Amino acid sequence: METLAGVTRMRLVGGNLALDYLNTRTGPPVGAPDDDVLAGYPELVAWGSYAGGLSEPEAKVLRRLSHDDPDGAQVAFTRALRLRDDLDEVFRAVASDRSPSASVLARLRDDEADALRHARLDRGRTFSWTWRDDASLARPTRPVVHAAVQLLTTGALDRIKGCGGCRFLFYDESKNRSRRWCSMDDCGTSEKIRRYVAARRTRAAG
């Protein structure tokens, strides 16, 4: 089982809160995930705080709430995992140029409507949705849902891609849309080593 520390070792390479949320599961590019840092509600809160969806005071309130209402926290956590499955389906479809199912898009709409019902419009440089008044157990996933819908409605869909070496998804912000890896330090480096070894083998054989 992952620990709370496991959450803060996750690499935030998605370039978007919703994609980073999907990337809490690791594994090969296709097939089943082989690890998951979201082991329970405490990890969900820790992730939210680490990834920037929750402030530390908000996380503190949620830790107290979940402690007082463990059943409610379990329900919220189950919903959070369902949301992750839904977002996984949606963004993996988009990344491979397929259309997500109508049913998953309808659930995302319902989740967004619910998130906005608990949001307020705050003025900064522009107005934006915040969840400062929402001290409910569903709070950690609100900004995730909204980031997902924002990306789908205003992002460049062809920039949503899957890593060539693992199951991570990311938003490719490179100028010529050439990004292939979640990070050069991990999958990018493994690929370079693999190519180098293959080339050396070819040279040795020749």
Residues engaged in binding Zn ion (CB under 5 A): 163, 165-166, 168, 182, 187
Q: Give first-to-last CA distance, the chain, whole Å.
A: 48
Nearer to Zn ion, 59 or 182 (CB): 182
Q: Residue 123 CB, nearest distance to Zn ion (Å)?
A: 38
> For Zn ion, which is the closer residue by CB, 21 or 168?
168
Least distance from Zn ion to the Cβ atom of residue 28, Å: 10
> By C-beta, is 41 or 181 nearer to Zn ion?
181
Give the count of beta carbons closer than 10 Å to the beta carbon of residue 17. 20
- What is the distance of C-alpha 78 from the center of its chain? 16
Q: Across the chain, where does the E strand assignment appear? A: 25-26, 35-36, 120-123, 127-130, 160-162, 169-171
Cα–Cα distance measured from residue 29 to residue 145, given in angstroms and rounded to the nearest whole number: 23
Cβ at position 165, least distance to Zn ion in Å: 4
Please give the Cα distance from 187 to 46 (Å, whole number).
25
Query: Residue 14 or residue 165: which is nearer to Zn ion going by CB?
Result: 165
Smallest distance, Zn ion to C-beta of residue 150, A: 24
